[in-house]
């Protein structure tokens, strides 16, 4: 095994030759084992239904004979693919699982900025509350009143509404990359590698000021590092081999290649070695414009200093500097040896390009030495002491092999199956009547019966007796049926191993109850949920890496238009300086739990429609694949419903007020009419009384001077009665008016 050159050396000693020696040593250690590629080839062929006959020699040549005549049997070994359907089923489920990712700002000042936002919002709330009170008291403030929630509710709404502007910018950047880089499609391709070979590999990098993201074939990746490392990006060294055309090489390295190097690339020296690559990569072994390119990434050691100084406000500050920094006199710098990621390319075993520090290095704020390489992967098995990658397809290879063998044996049994055979004397064929063996067999097959010659004689002129005929039963129907059941049991055992039952495939019987089907689906999904969860954690790491890489790619800013997952047009506007100084954290919710919540909510859409929800709202719910977006949608719907209900209540109160006013006016008119009528009645009664007393309307209060004392007393009593009646009627009208104006419900 090649020895890696010394890495803890000063930066000035890390020259081009040191880089070439390191790259060559890592490639030599990698060796890109042909055995590993052959194993991967078998796994991918098993998924694609391609069979290797060499693995069935013990079956096709059980006697190990060298004579081909004795290796030919009345059956053909075929591959009946039972691996692909479950893999495709889980691929379909993966594509339909919701993927909800959120970006937050994790800068040290995030708590301070949130506190300041809440203080400003509470101050605005308090000022508006005071304005409302002053306007209510009659003081003219010049500012209109606004309806405010209670203080506790307002505080909760302010806290919930806070969104860091840097986090919003990071979320927009992630949404744009999801659109621009086809992240979901590439994650599905990586998930297929995850199930086939148990190890998806991806690459994140920067090319010409933009982010690149690719899925790498796992067989061309070599890594070396600590055995407890879970993700490939945390390894110590990685070498990735690929085959590229000359034009592709020029596209990638046009700023590094010299004209004479391009001329030499037109005659690749490693052309004969290209044939060792996987056939699944669609590489022609005799391609005369293809050559090998090896990308090597490793962690070397370098010095990093922490410079302490006083700023212009006489406040202590710290700044990171590399070993090329020249300290001033009496300047305090504390030096550390830390990991620094390097990279370089070897093209056609001739040229070394791009040797130097990784341009898009990713680190952490709390550990100066921790850095990540641009390739990432995660193995299917968390604990595997064999040292080999485990995968679903690898577990299914033994079942596929057994299934093919049983099919082959069943085909042999079918070939041996002859049903019932009748043994009869050949001399009984009525040859004397002109019959031949062919004619006899034809009528036997066509009509189901045939004639014989009962007078026929044998070779010794003996008479052939009819009772010597017999029937042999050579049918193998029951044996073939048992073999078919054995085939089904092998297939069922394979699918049970990975948690695929018939209910999960949509195969239900009329006798199955709803509860039984739900329990079966739940049990099946739980067996594969851990596999999905581990891959989703890998996806979370990938999104985090893309966000970190984009900060370096877009350090000069980024403006672009993109389409969101729900079909809306959005504008990406990234401020380079602010974006680079931001620290982002990406979090992915469990897709299994998210899917359960979404499906439960979608089952309530019929109730939403019956309760009067708008058709557009129901359509948005059915179209949603993100529960967080659903919550925002339903919150908007709730606000709209509350505003609609408030408007209805206000309209109803206005109608009630108008009705009360109309009733009051009608009552006043009725009361006025009744008062006039009463006054007329009183005048009439007075007039009649005065006539009876011998007086006329319009006389003096005491009557005519000639009226007797008795008549005057009668007239006074009559007027007193009229006044009392008038007061009683007035009191009655007042009571009726109060009852009519009394608010309802009191």
Residue 709 binned pLDDT confidence (cut-offs 50, 70, 90): low
* Count of the separate structural domains present in the chain: 2
Handedness of CA 543, 548, 553, 555 (dihedral sign): positive
46 three-class SS: helix
**Contact (Cβ atoms closer than 8 angstroms) between residue 82 and residue 49:** no
DSSP-derived secondary structure letter, 457: B
Indicate if the pLDDT at residue 701 is higher than 50.
Answer: no
326 three-class SS: coil
Q: How far apart are CA 491 and CA 505, in angstroms?
A: 14
Indicate if the pLDDT at residue 61 is higher than 80.
Answer: yes
CA dihedral 676→681→685→691, nearest 10 degrees, is 80
**What is the average pLDDT across 58-66?**
83
pLDDT at res. 275? 45
**Would residue 88 count as lying in a domain?**
no
Handedness of CA 266, 267, 270, 272 (dihedral sign): positive
**pLDDT for 430-464, tens place per residue?**
888 888 888 888 888 888 777 888 777 777 777 77
3-state helix, strand, coil in the chain (%, to 5): 55, 15, 30
Residue 629 binned pLDDT confidence (cut-offs 50, 70, 90): low
**Nearest residue to 341 (alpha-carbon basis) of 360, 364, 322:** 360
**Would residue 398 count as lying in a domain?**
no
The H or E element spanning position 207 is: strand 201-207
pLDDT at res. 609? 55
Q: How far apart are CA 202 and CA 198, in angstroms?
A: 14
**What is the average pLDDT across 134-157?**
81
Residue 641 binned pLDDT confidence (cut-offs 50, 70, 90): low
Q: What is the residue range of 428's domain?
A: 418-475
**Would residue 162 count as lying in a domain?**
no
What are the contacts of 258-262 at 24+ separation with CB within 8 A? 261/350, 261/351
**Would residue 358 count as lying in a domain?**
no
Q: How far apart are CA 380 and CA 394, in angstroms?
A: 11
Q: How far apart are CA 725 and CA 345, in angstroms?
A: 118
DSSP alpha helices (H): ranges in 6-150? 16-30, 34-48, 57-60, 84-96, 110-136
**Comparing 14-23, 216-225, 461-470, 705-714, which segment has the lowest mean pLDDT?**
705-714
DSSP alpha helices (H): ranges in 288-430? 392-416
Residue 480 binned pLDDT confidence (cut-offs 50, 70, 90): confident
**What is the average pLDDT across 75-91?**
92
Beta bridge partners of 295: 240, 345
**DSSP E strand stretches across 269-350:** 290-310, 316-322, 332-347
pLDDT at res. 89? 92
Q: Of 80-94, 521-535, 651-665, give the range with the top mean pLDDT.
A: 80-94
**Contact (Cβ atoms closer than 8 angstroms) between residue 19 and residue 356:** yes
**Contact (Cβ atoms closer than 8 angstroms) between residue 357 and residue 340:** yes
pLDDT at res. 698? 43
CA dihedral 120→126→127→131, nearest 10 degrees, is 160
**Contact (Cβ atoms closer than 8 angstroms) between residue 202 and residue 376:** yes
302 three-class SS: strand
What contacts 741, CB < 8 A, 6 or more positions away? 660, 664
Beta bridge partners of 347: 293, 351
Please compute, for residue 377, the number of CA atoms within 13 A of its CA located in the half-sphere on the CB side.
26
Cα angle for residues 242, 55, 379 (degrees, 5° grid):
45
User: 78 or 678: whose pLDDT is higher?
Assistant: 78
Q: Of 85-89, 310-314, 730-734, give the range with the top mean pLDDT.
A: 85-89
Q: How far apart are CA 207 and CA 446, in angstroms?
A: 77
User: 314 or 364: whose pLDDT is higher?
Assistant: 314
Strand order across the beta sheet in which 210-216 lies: 210-216, 201-207, 375-377
**Would residue 461 count as lying in a domain?**
yes
**Would residue 719 count as lying in a domain?**
yes
User: 736 or 619: whose pLDDT is higher?
Assistant: 736
DSSP-derived secondary structure letter, 465: P
Residue 88 binned pLDDT confidence (cut-offs 50, 70, 90): very high
Q: How far apart are CA 154 and CA 646, in angstroms?
A: 19
Rg (CA), the chain: 47
Q: What percentage of residues in the chain have a pLDDT greater than 90? A: 23
Residue 506 binned pLDDT confidence (cut-offs 50, 70, 90): confident
Counted residue by residue, the chain has a size of 746
User: 493 or 631: whose pLDDT is higher?
Assistant: 493
* 442, 460, 475 - which closes a domain: 475
Indicate if the pLDDT at residue 737 is higher than 90.
Answer: no
**Comparing 304-318, 462-476, 610-624, which segment has the lowest mean pLDDT?**
610-624
* 475, 494, 515 - which closes a domain: 475
pLDDT at res. 451? 81
**Would residue 666 count as lying in a domain?**
yes
pLDDT at res. 490? 93
Indicate if the pLDDT at residue 160 is higher than 80.
Answer: no
Beta bridge partners of 369: none
pLDDT at res. 601? 56
Handedness of CA 368, 373, 376, 380 (dihedral sign): negative
Q: How far apart are CA 688 and CA 313, in angstroms?
A: 108
**Would residue 431 count as lying in a domain?**
yes
Indicate if the pLDDT at residue 73 is higher than 90.
Answer: no
Main-chain phi, psi angles of 214, to 5 degrees: -140, 155
Q: How far apart are the first and last CA of the chain?
A: 96
* 453, 475, 497 - which closes a domain: 475
User: 717 or 493: whose pLDDT is higher?
Assistant: 493
Residue 233 binned pLDDT confidence (cut-offs 50, 70, 90): very high
pLDDT at res. 627? 47
**pLDDT for 412-425, tens place per residue?**
888 887 777 777 77
Main-chain phi, psi angles of 74, to 5 degrees: -75, 45
What contacts 470, CB < 8 A, 6 or more positions away? 422, 423
User: 113 or 222: whose pLDDT is higher?
Assistant: 222
**pLDDT for 646-686, tens place per residue?**
777 777 778 877 777 777 777 777 777 677 777 767 766 67
Write a three-state SS string for 690-743: HHHCCCCCCCCCCCCCCCCHHHHHHHHHHHHHHHHHHHHHHHHHHHHHHHHHCC
379 three-class SS: coil
Burial track 457-487 (b if 16+ CB lie within 10 A, e otherwise): eeeeeeebeeeeeeeeeeebeeebeebeeeb
**What is the average pLDDT across 377-387?**
74
With 0-12 / 13-18 / 19 or more C-beta atoms within 10 angstroms meaning exposed / middle / buried, residue 618 is middle
The mean pLDDT value of the chain amounts to 80
131 three-class SS: helix
pLDDT at res. 126? 86
**What is the average pLDDT across 597-606?**
57
Q: How many CB atoms lie within 10 A of CB 316?
A: 8
User: 337 or 617: whose pLDDT is higher?
Assistant: 337
Distances 498 to 83, 195, 196, 391, 519 between C-alpha atoms, Å: 11, 11, 13, 11, 17
């Amino acid at each position: 095994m090649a020895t890696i050159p010394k890495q803890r050396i000063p930066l000035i000693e890390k020259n081009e030759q040191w880089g070439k020696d390191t790259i060559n040593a890592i490639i030599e250690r990698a060796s890109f084992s042909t055995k590993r590629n052959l194993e991967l080839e078998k796994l991918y062929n098993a998924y694609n239904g391609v069979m290797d006959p060499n693995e069935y020699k013990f079956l096709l040549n059980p006697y190990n004979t060298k004579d081909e005549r004795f290796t030919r049997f009345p059956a053909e070994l075929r591959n009946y693919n039972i691996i692909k359907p479950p893999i495709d089923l889980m691929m379909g489920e993966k594509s339909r699982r919701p993927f909800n990712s959120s970006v937050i700002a994790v800068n040290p000042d995030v708590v301070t900025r949130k506190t300041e936002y809440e203080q400003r919002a509470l101050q605005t709330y308090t000022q508006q509350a005071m304005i409302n009170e002053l306007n209510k008291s009659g003081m003219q403030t010049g500012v209109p009143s606004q309806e405010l929630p209670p203080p506790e509710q307002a505080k909760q709404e302010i806290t919930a509404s806070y969104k860091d502007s840097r986090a919003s910018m990071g979320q927009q950047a992630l949404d744009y990359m999801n659109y621009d880089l086809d992240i979901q499609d590439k994650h599905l391709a990586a998930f297929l590698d995850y199930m086939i070979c148990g190890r998806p590999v991806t690459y994140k990098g920067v090319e010409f000021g933009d982010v690149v993201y690719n899925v790498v074939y796992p067989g061309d990746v070599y890594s070396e590092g600590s055995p407890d490392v879970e993700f490939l990006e945390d390894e110590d060294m990685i070498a990735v081999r690929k085959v590229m055309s000359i034009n592709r090489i020029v596209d990638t390295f046009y700023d590094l290649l010299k004209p004479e190097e391009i001329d030499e690339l037109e005659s690749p020296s490693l052309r004969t070695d290209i044939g060792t690559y996987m056939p699944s990569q669609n590489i022609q072994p005799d391609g005369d414009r293809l050559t090998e390119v090896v990308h090597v990434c490793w962690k070397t050691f370098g010095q990093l200093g922490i410079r302490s100084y006083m700023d212009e406000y006489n406040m202590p500050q710290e700044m990171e500097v590399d070993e090329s920094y020249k300290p001033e006199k009496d300047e305090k710098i504390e030096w550390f040896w830390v990991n620094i990621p390097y990279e370089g390319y070897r093209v056609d075993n001739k040229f070394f390009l791009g040797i130097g520090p990784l341009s898009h290095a990713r680190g952490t704020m709390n550990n100066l030495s921790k850095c990540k390489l641009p390739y990432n992967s995660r193995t299917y098995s968390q604990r595997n002491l064999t040292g080999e990658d485990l995968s679903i397809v690898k577990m299914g290879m033994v079942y596929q092999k057994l299934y093919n063998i049983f099919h082959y044996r069943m085909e042999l049994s079918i070939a041996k199956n002859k049903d019932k055979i009748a043994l009869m004397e050949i001399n009984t064929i009525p040859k004397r009547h002109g019959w031949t063996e062919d004619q006899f067999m034809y009528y036997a097959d066509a009509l189901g019966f045939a004639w014989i010659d009962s007078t026929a004689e044998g070779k010794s002129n003996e008479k052939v007796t009819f009772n010597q005929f017999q029937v042999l039963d050579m049918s193998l129907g029951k044996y073939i049926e048992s073999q078919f059941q054995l085939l089904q049991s092998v297939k069922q055992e394979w699918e049970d191993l990975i948690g695929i039952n018939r209910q999960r495939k949509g195969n239900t019987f009329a006798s199955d109850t709803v509860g039984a089907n739900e329990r079966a689906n739940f049990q099946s999904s739980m067996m594969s949920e851990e596999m999905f969860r581990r891959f989703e954690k890998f996806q979370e790491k990938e999104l985090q890496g893309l966000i970190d890489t984009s900060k370096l790619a877009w350090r000069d800013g980024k403006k672009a238009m993109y389409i969101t997952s729900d079909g809306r047009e959005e504008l990406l506007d990234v401020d380079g300086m602010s974006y680079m100084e931001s620290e982002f954290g990406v979090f992915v919710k469990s897709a299994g739990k998210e899917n359960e919540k979404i499906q439960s909510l979608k089952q309530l859409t019929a109730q939403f429609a019956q309760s009067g929800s708008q058709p557009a709202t129901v359509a948005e719910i059915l179209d949603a694949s993100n529960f967080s977006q659903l919550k925002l949608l339903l919150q908007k719907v709730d606000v709209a419903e509350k505003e609609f209900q408030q408007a209805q209540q206000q309209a109803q109160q206005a109608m009630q007020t108008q009705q009360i006013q109309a009733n009051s006016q009608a009552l006043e008119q009725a009361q006025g009419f009744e008062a006039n009528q009463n006054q007329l009645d009183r005048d009439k009664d007075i007039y009649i009384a005065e006539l009876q007393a011998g007086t006329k309307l319009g006389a003096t209060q005491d009557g005519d001077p000639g009226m007797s004392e008795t008549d005057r007393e009668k007239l006074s009593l009559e007027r007193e009665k009229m006044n009392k009646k008038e007061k009683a009627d007035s009191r009655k009208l007042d009571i009726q008016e109060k009852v009519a104006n009394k608010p309802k419900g009191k």
